[in-house]
Amino acid sequence: MSVYEKTFTLKDEDHTMGNAVRYMLNKNPQVSLAGYSVPHPMEKSVNVRVQTTGEVTATAAMRDALLDIISVCDHVHDTFDTAVADFKAKQPAPMDADSK
Cα-Cα-Cα-Cα torsion 56, 60, 65, 66, nearest 10 degrees, comes to 180
For 47-68, the pLDDT digits (tens) are 999 999 999 999 999 999 999 9
CATH number for the domain including 14?
A: 3.30.1360.10
Work out the average pLDDT over 6-20: 97
Between CA 82 and CA 8 the distance in angstroms is 36
Contact 57, 3 (CB under 8 A): yes
Q: Is residue 28 part of a domain?
A: yes
Mean pLDDT score across all residues of the chain: 94
Q: Is residue 11 part of a domain?
A: yes
pLDDT at residue 98 tops 60? yes
For 31-41, the pLDDT digits (tens) are 999 999 999 99
pLDDT at residue 99 tops 70? no
Percent of the chain with pLDDT over 70: 96
User: In total, how many domains does the chain have?
Assistant: 1
Q: Is residue 96 part of a domain?
A: no
Q: Is residue 98 part of a domain?
A: no
Owning domain of residue 69 = 5-90
Q: Is residue 44 part of a domain?
A: yes
Q: CA-based angle 15:16:21, to the nearest 5?
A: 95
pLDDT at residue 80 tops 70? yes
- Provide the terminal-to-terminal Cα distance of the chain, rounded to the nearest Å: 79
